[in-house]
Structure 1
Amino acid sequence: MRYCILLLALLFSSARAETTAACEPAQSCATEQTLHLSWALGYGQRSNPLYGGEELPLVILPDIYYYAEHWFFDNGKLGSSWALNEQWQLSLVAQFNQEKGHFQKWFGGNAFQFSSTNFSSPSISIDRVGPLQASVREIRKRPTAFDAGLQLDGLVGQWLVQAVLWQDVSNTYQGQHASVGVSLPWQQDSNQWQLSGRLYWKSAKLIDTYYGIDNNEPFYLPRYNGKPSWQPQLSLSWQRPVSERVSLLAFVRYLHLDDAMTDSPLVRTDNVTTWFLGISYRMY
């Protein structure tokens, strides 16, 4: 792990951000030396799959990104990129692990709900029935972890493709997680749409740290050791400009949780749904 951190630090210091091929207007790509700051006001919520977990209300959402010559910040993700060719770009990225957001309502990572892979239809949640369940109020506090990784972005025809591999560099859960996703943006009159699909993989160590029940928990709770998890997600987003700075927008996401998650006595549903409808004002 020590050598991995040194390697990541070396890459951060030597990588040079380069622009990729010009983007079509509907792709909403960021350009170098660009600051974007907007706030969306409306209403929505993100469901919580945990027993005793609180749903996250979405009322004011920031959308913040800045792309400089050598680095970028994009809604909680810090990185440095370089172009491999006209279609593909490799980035070294870092961010706080988002898993804690289900356990702590006001976790900082919950503020950033905008990303390049948002949206899908909500479904009816089905509670797991049985005596072997545990509330988040009964367990010890889950840790905050910091991840670093490699992100590959590409353009294949009209499809945007992304793959990310993350490693815990804070030595918190000592595991990895990864995802691969595709996204199709299109424009219909003044309406801008984006349909996305993504598959997440989370290591047994990550699942065990956040959803496992070990001997450090109260004795009356059922024990559970985490297993590797595969979690598919669908998302859809819509935006309609009203003026140069004001837009109407909406998004919805559906994340399916597999048995590695639902077998945990902490988890009561097999999905997480997120939706939001509001109006956005762009300051920069």
Structure 2
Amino acid sequence: MVTRKMLKYINACLGVILISLSSFTYAQDELNCLSSNDCITVGEWEFSIAFGYGKKMNPLQDNDDIPLYLVPSIAYYGENWFFDNGNLGYTVKESESFSINIVTSFSDDRAFFYDWDPSNIFLAKNSDGQDINISPTALSRGVTEQPKVFNSLESRRFTLYGGLEAFFYTGYGFIKLAYAHDMFNVHNGETGHLSWNYSTAIEQWVFDFVIRADWKSAQVIQYYYGVRESENPYWSKQYQASSGWNTGAELTTRYIINEDWNLLMALRYTALAEEIKHSPLINEDNSHTYFVGAAYRF
């Protein structure tokens, strides 16, 4: 008999920006669910889809912004094992005040480069050798300007991160800490995550707010944002990355029509790390996303 339910924040903003209606998930008593459709019964599959219109700004040179229309979500939570939009996890320890999981996750950096990357739904990149403007930040570091032409970008290979995440639950939301390492030895990099997540409900309105910081090691930043010699020999030598922190905030507003339907509006802003902004491939210092639409839960 199921006596507990998994509380799942269906933060459309977070999911739309990553892979789908991804969620911050943790176990709590059923009474703590903000609404009945925030809960997933242990041992049952959860399917939902959001549709509407949104856009994610792509900071890569000459790459179009990413339109958002349809976003699916698939999740399953057992007593310990869980699957959430392609990510696998195992709960090592769980209590009323904290939980610790072993998890896998996708890279959100590769999503800027590739169509149908698991971390995103986005338009194909421009790889036809057109001129690409060099980042003013890179020039300000004392590098003499060179021809702003890049050859087709080399492949940024797919990988999975594996590591630990911990949730600490308080009366003022919950804190998430996470650490992960490249599992496939693509770049042997590491990532870290710190966020504060707060949700509140006013009648049929639910508001989800997140402040976060994401650390990326030098190997991660160099692999995704470094310039290969075949792309441009000069800039491949001028830019050498170090580790850095992305920071940002997210707000998702949901109006619960009934058990199956939600209306939603989602906003996300990410300030790119200085080390990423220095890359000649980047021409913006941030990435922001918005989405307005409806979500249906099967």
Instruction: Please confirm whether the aligned pair reaches a TM-score higher than 0.5, indicating the same fold.
Output: yes
Matching residue of 1:167: 181
Unaligned residue ranges in structure 1 (runs of 5+): 1-18, 113-126
Alpha-carbon shift at residue 91 of structure 1 (Å) = 0.4
> Paired residue for 1:155?
169
Contact 1:76 1:109 in 2 (8 A): no
Do the aligned partners of residues 95 and 133 (structure 1) sit closer, same or farther apart at CA in structure 2, a change above 3 Å counting?
farther
Q: TM-score, normalised by structure 2?
A: 0.78
Q: Secondary structure at the match of 1:183?
A: strand
What residue is the counterpart of 2:22 in the other structure? Answer: none
Work out which of the residue numbers 198, 201, 214 in structure 2 matches 1:184: 198
Runs ≥4 residues deviating over 4 A = 130-137
| Aligned counterpart in structure 2 of residue 142 of structure 1, from 151, 156, 164 | 156
Equivalent residue in structure 1 for 2:213, among 199, 202, 208: 199
**Which of 47, 70, 73 matches 1:37?**
47
How many equivalent residue pairs? Answer: 251
Structure with more contact order per residue of length (Cα contacts < 8 Å, sep ≥ 6): 1
Say whether 1:79 aligns with 2:89: yes
Whole-angstrom CA distance in 2 between matches of 1:206 and 1:34: 36
Counterpart amino acid of residue 25 in structure 1: C
Matches within 5 A, 1:1-284: 20-23=27-30, 24-26=32-34, 28-111=38-121, 128-129=135-136, 131=145, 138-221=152-235, 223=237, 224-283=239-298
2:265–2:293 CA contact under 8 A, matched in 1: yes
CA drift of 1:158 comes to 2.8
The change in CA–CA distance for 1:133 and 1:263 in structure 2 (over 3 A counts) is: farther
- Cα drift, residue 271 of structure 1: 0.4
RMSD: 2.3
Do the aligned partners of 1:51 and 1:135 also contact (CA within 8 Å) in 2? no
Letter of the aligned partner of 1:273 in structure 2? H
Percent sequence identity is 27
CA contact (8 A) 1:52 1:137 kept: no
**Displacement of 1:154 after TM fit?**
1.9
* Rounded Cα–Cα distance in structure 2 between residues aligned with 1:135 and 1:160: 46
CA contact (8 A) 1:222 1:265 kept: no
Deviation of the 1:98 alpha carbon: 2.4
Quick check: 2:74–2:85 contact (8 Å CA) kept in 1?
yes
The whole-number CA distance in structure 2 between the counterparts of 1:137 and 1:190 is 52
- 1:151-197 CA distances to partner (integer Å, 9 max, x unpaired)? 10120113111111010110001110010101110011210001111
CA distance 1:51–1:133, shift in 2 (3 Å):
farther
CA contact (8 A) 1:99 1:210 kept: yes
Cα distance in 2, alignment partners of residues 254 and 29 from structure 1: 27
Alignment check: 8 A CA contact 2:205 2:254 kept: yes
